[in-house]
Structure 1
Amino acid sequence: MTVAQHALLVMDVQRAVVDRYPDPAYLPRLREAVDAARAGGVPVIHAVVGFRPGYPEVSARNRMFGGLLRAGAPAGADATATAAAERATAIHPDIAPEPGETVVTKRRVSAFAGSDLDMVLRAGGIDHLVLTGIATSGVVLSTLRQAADLDFGLTVLSDGCLDADPEVHRVLTEKVFPQQAEVTTVADWAAKIR
């Protein structure tokens, strides 16, 4: 019998995203999961959404990201505007990667879309993902579906995910996700790996 190699996937916990989902208990709870993973020898992988200058990866037809094309910085934007944009899309400092931790940049909602996540996981022998992130109905749902189709084992830390709509979060974590993943809490998962 082989033992599954797990990785904790922390998704879209970037300053600009965190600011849109105010929950003062979320980051400390997520930090507990990150600390437990590090202490237990479980790799922590951060997935962030990002685009090249000028957003060449974004289609105007894309309802979620197409607005970036209309709201983008004007030609000749100064260094201050660029620095502000980089700060907004940076991983929140409360769960910032440690040296040696992998950060993948995705171009759409799923952590796999437009990133090298699958290659990183397979190269590392990782076959089980522990999912956390913002939002439950966005990156977590999309990544869970794609990871399941790629035959990864899955765990979702229900309180390590956050959504603007508590009812949507509840339905996903209690009814939808259990069809493809084990769903548990940060505290219960952390107790198992320490």
Structure 2
Amino acid sequence: MPMSQTALLVMDMQNGIVSRFAEDPSVLEPFKHAVALARKSEVMVIFVRVAFRPGYPEISSRNLSFSRIAKNPNDMIQSEFSTQIHESVAPQPEEAVVTKLRVSAFTGSDLEVLLRAQHIERLVLCGIATSGVVLSTLREAADKDYELVVLADACLDADEEVHRVLIEKVFPRQAEVMTVAEWAKMLDGRLN
């Protein structure tokens, strides 16, 4: 498949989330490497973040997970520092930043419109958390018939065992699972 039909989704790599998972900055290296590889290979890079309007009108009190966010007055407001993409993978001016309203990168965002407009058929997924945005986006993207790759070492989760089970047992049913180094070799093979 041509690289022009591939997009790297860099998901929930925003300040408020990265700060909870990356006390050791070295864990961000695979993400930085993946973004650099995509740019070098002319793979479209799309950043996905979760953010809301002031007052959180998009959050229902019935949503157990998101209603907790609404109790923090400014934590996840669109203009706040916590919802901006982390400097380690800062978007280039021409790269899209998609704002979602739930766990999946598709829910409440214009991601699918963007992918269709650019004729994207293959998604390469990375992000925080493996059991959150990566799992939800992978499931929805598979149902939408995208060809999928998950970059195992460019996914983080608070629970190492959950991360391992998803990467080793669940994701391979719907996606190729590889490291960033393996993806680099694959890209080199397609470019040569």
Is the CA contact (8 Å cut-off) linking 2:76 and 2:82 kept in structure 1?
Answer: no
C-alpha separation between the residues in 1 aligned to 2:70 and 2:12? 20
What is the DSSP-based 3-state SS (H/G/I as helix, E as strand, rest coil) of the residue aligned with 1:65? Answer: helix
Structure 1 residues 126 and 54: CA distance shift in structure 2, 3 A: same
Give identity over the alignment, percent: 57
TM superposition shift of 1:192: 2.2
TM superposition shift of 1:104: 0.5
Residues 1:101 and 2:92 aligned together? no
Which sections of structure 1, spanning at least 5 residues, go unmatched?
Answer: 74-80
TM superposition shift of 1:189: 0.4
Task: Decide which of 143, 153, 175 is 1:181's aligned counterpart.
Answer: 175
Q: Which residue of 1 aligns with 2:39?
A: 38
- Partner amino acid, structure 1, of 2:71: R
C-alpha separation between the residues in 1 aligned to 2:96 and 2:10? 11
- Partner amino acid, structure 2, of 1:182: E
- Partner amino acid, structure 1, of 2:30: R
Structure 1 residues 60 and 37: CA distance shift in structure 2, 3 A: same
Q: Which residue of 2 aligns with 1:28?
A: 29
Give the TM-score, by structure 2 length: 0.91
C-alpha separation between the residues in 2 aligned to 1:87 and 1:45? 19
Q: Which residue of 1 aligns with 2:130?
A: 136
Which sections of structure 2, spanning at least 5 residues, go unmatched?
Answer: none
Give the TM-score, by structure 1 length: 0.90
Higher RCO (CA 8 Å, separation ≥ 6 residues): 1
C-alpha separation between the residues in 2 aligned to 1:127 and 1:68? 33
TM superposition shift of 1:71: 2.5
Report the count of equivalent residues: 186
Residues 1:156 and 2:157 aligned together? no
Larger-Rg structure: 1
Q: Which residue of 2 aligns with 1:11?
A: 11
